[in-house]
Chain A
Amino acid sequence: MRPNPVVKAAMIALASFISLLFVFPYLWMIAASFRDTEAILTAPLRLWPESFSLKAYRDILVLSGEPLSTYLINSLLITGASTVFTVLTSLMGAYALTRAPHLPGFGLLRVGFLLVIMYPYMLLVLPVYLVMFQLGLLGTTIGIILFLSVGPIQFFLFEQFFKSIPREVIEAARMDNASEMKILMRIVAPMSMPVVMTVILITVLLNWAQWFPVLVISRSTDTYTLPVALLSLNSELGVNFQGIMALATLTTLPVIIVYLLTQRRVMEGMISGAVKG
């Protein structure tokens, strides 16, 4: 059966329309950040700004007494550091739990971990306030980073990967009297590079978006990230709609760029993480 060109064109048109619906909010957001209030009120649907006004971006250069750069640096620092921690801990943890699942305590650890990811996340964050307080980490960047370092999808991705390594590879190394450390560093680590890259990417994307733990653990705007700043823009003192859209654009655009550059890896990573979980 030869594909009918009319059917094909219709399908592509339909898919394009649906895709536009999915992308529309972003285009609208970006457009709104450059347009003035009057223009938005009269032509809400217009996507190409009549003029590129940077006023909204100038307005948000200082938010709640902190320069915008503080929020940006916090976002980068918190995302970066929590990604390093998440990847290292879940890599080593998943490796230990797959290589030696029967060691005393490991079964329990796995069940405990499953319980944690089952717990409603936003309600877990609230008692975390008390934990942070008791650890003296309330209001610190380190506290936020540590909390964000518990990652379910990351653990499952690594676990699944390690399970796929043929036993013989490791057994052969053991026969050569290599230490466990050596096996990990010389044999497993090089093989894991692609999966590690995927996990890093996914973690960066996920942790960049985190806002609730940051809000709860913070004690001042010093430790706020871009999404939290965005949430705080709605206050009793008035709303700067264009400013909100400008900040939303700044919060979203880096992620979109990273995603467009690495799409295949991100999607495949998400699939394998989900399939395991």
Chain B
Amino acid sequence: MVAIPVPAARPTLIQRLDGAAIFYVFALPFAALTIVMGLWPIALSIQTSFTESFTALSPEPTFVGLENYREIFADPQFIRSINLTLLYTVLSVALNLTVALAYALFLNSPLLGRAAMIFKLCVFLPVITPDLAGYIVWKWMYNTDFGAINAGLNALGLPDFAGTSSQSTAMISLLIAELWYHVGFYVIIFLANLAMIDKSLIEAARMDATPPWRMFTRIILPQLRPAIMINSVYALIQFLKTFTVVVVITKGGPAGSTNFVSYHAYQMFDQAQYGKAAAMASTLFAGVMVLAFFVYWLNQRADWR
């Protein structure tokens, strides 16, 4: 093909930029945002974790090496908050994934027919509404004085639920509220995966009169591996960082029983303990990365059959 030369046409700016340069132009706004709103604050935060809190925001901060890290790990409150966070994360991931899988299998049943769409809609509804509003409603529903939860339990003839007022039930209360908020997401991921399952394998197994449990563990579960991996990584990151629900419902209480790392660090920051807060943030960051990669790796290598 012969290009017809256009007389005296000077190449436009865009033409001159063509080739590699234009890709840099495309990527520039994205790169600028990522650097300015992401990497820069992270770098600042990591730098702050090595400085003395009182000078952290001054033009010439005093660097104290690992002192902040040493202090936070010597603080029993922080250790407790790590343990609480881990416990909460494990429980949440297990609960959300189990409930999501069970409900997805249930919704996947052909017996539900077209109504399944409406049920899907309901379970997914909390995921897209503002979390703050949802948790504020839960907070009041848990209220032992006039909340709907105890009224409901009483109506069913069940004993009162202490909800967020007791150390032993506060974490469970948050688990339930967060389950309500997040589980819809995991359900639709499972449903999407179930829709792609190889039906012929199931038919074949049915012909062999495979018992249902065996069918589930041997035929269905292995094929759900992608969804399980996505959900577990997501849930892990999600629950390690649990924050809004604590701010709204328990403020870390009662008696520190829901004082998770992110909230603990946030409070430190609010009290101008910038060095310690940043050290906690970096610790949590490292934890999230390590665990996320670990789960990813586990899922990659696990023998599912």
8 Å CB contact of B111 from A3, A29, A241: A3
8 Å CB contact of A150 from B38, B45, B265: B38
8 Å CB contact of A41 from B3, B44, B146: B146
A51-59, A65-73, A177-185 - interface stretch: A177-185
List A contacts of B284 (CB < 8 A): 120, 123
Among residues of B, the one whose C-beta sits closest to the C-beta of A275 is: B230
Asked whether B63 is an interface residue with its Cβ less than 8 Å from the other chain, the reply is no
Q: Digitize A163-187: 1 where CB-to-B-CB distance is under 8 Å, 0 elsewhere.
A: 0000000000000110111001000
Among A43, A99, A130, A184, residue most surrounded by chain B Cβ atoms (within 10 Å)? A130
Contact A274–B230 (Cβ < 8 Å): yes
Asked whether B129 is an interface residue with its Cβ less than 8 Å from the other chain, the reply is yes
If A89-B30, A131-B40, A241-B140 touch, does A180 touch B23 (CB 8 Å cutoff)? yes
Contact B234–A274 (Cβ < 8 Å): yes
Contact B45–A227 (Cβ < 8 Å): no
Asked whether A109 is an interface residue with its Cβ less than 8 Å from the other chain, the reply is yes
Asked whether B298 is an interface residue with its Cβ less than 8 Å from the other chain, the reply is no
B67-75, B117-125, B164-172 - interface stretch: B117-125
If A96-B26, A122-B241 touch, does A19 touch B119 (CB 8 Å cutoff)? yes
Asked whether B31 is an interface residue with its Cβ less than 8 Å from the other chain, the reply is yes
Among residues of A, the one whose C-beta sits closest to the C-beta of B111 is: A8
Secondary structure type dominating chain A contacts: helix
Contact A11–B128 (Cβ < 8 Å): no
Among residues of A, the one whose C-beta sits closest to the C-beta of B103 is: A18
Among residues of A, the one whose C-beta sits closest to the C-beta of B149 is: A44
8 Å CB contact of A22 from B29, B125, B131, B151: B125
Among residues of B, the one whose C-beta sits closest to the C-beta of A176 is: B1
Asked whether A77 is an interface residue with its Cβ less than 8 Å from the other chain, the reply is no
A25 to B148, CA, bound (A): 9
B154 to chain A, nearest CB (A): 9
How many residues of B sit at the interface, in one of the four size bands? Answer: 35 or more
If A92-B29, A177-B3, A275-B230 touch, does A99 touch B23 (CB 8 Å cutoff)? yes
Asked whether B41 is an interface residue with its Cβ less than 8 Å from the other chain, the reply is yes
List B contacts of A255 (CB < 8 A): 128-130
Contact A127–B184 (Cβ < 8 Å): no
B124 to chain A, nearest CB (A): 6
Contact A121–B241 (Cβ < 8 Å): yes
Contact A119–B129 (Cβ < 8 Å): no
A14 to B103, CA, bound (A): 11
A226 to B126, CA, bound (A): 17
Contact B262–A122 (Cβ < 8 Å): yes
Contact A123–B262 (Cβ < 8 Å): yes
A163 to chain B, nearest CB (A): 16
Asked whether A237 is an interface residue with its Cβ less than 8 Å from the other chain, the reply is no
List A contacts of B45 (CB < 8 A): 123-124, 126-127
A113 to B39, CA, bound (A): 8
If A15-B119, A255-B130 touch, does A127 touch B48 (CB 8 Å cutoff)? yes
B8 to chain A, nearest CB (A): 19
If A256-B129, A267-B124, A274-B189 touch, does A179 touch B15 (CB 8 Å cutoff)? yes
B151 to chain A, nearest CB (A): 4
A90 to chain B, nearest CB (A): 6
Asked whether B204 is an interface residue with its Cβ less than 8 Å from the other chain, the reply is no
If A89-B30, A248-B136 touch, does A127 touch B129 (CB 8 Å cutoff)? no
List A contacts of B97 (CB < 8 A): none
Q: Digitize B16-27: 1 where CB-to-A-CB distance is under 8 Å, 0 elsewhere.
A: 001110111011
Contact B122–A179 (Cβ < 8 Å): no
A-B contact pairs, 19 of them (CB 8 A): A16-B119, A22-B123, A22-B125, A22-B126, A26-B125, A29-B137, A92-B29, A93-B26, A96-B23, A112-B39, A118-B237, A123-B265, A126-B281, A155-B30, A205-B128, A209-B129, A248-B136, A255-B129, A267-B188
Chain A residues with a Cβ under 8 A of chain B: 3, 7-8, 11-12, 14-16, 18-26, 28-29, 32, 40-41, 43-45, 85, 88-90, 92-97, 99-100, 103, 106, 109, 112-113, 115-116, 118-124, 126-128, 130-131, 135, 146-147, 149-150, 155, 176-177, 179-181, 184, 205, 208-209, 211-212, 227, 230-231, 241, 244-245, 248, 251-252, 255-256, 259-260, 263, 266-267, 270-271, 274-275, 277
Closest 7 CB pairs of A and B: A93-B30, A116-B38, A209-B130, A19-B122, A123-B281, A127-B41, A96-B26
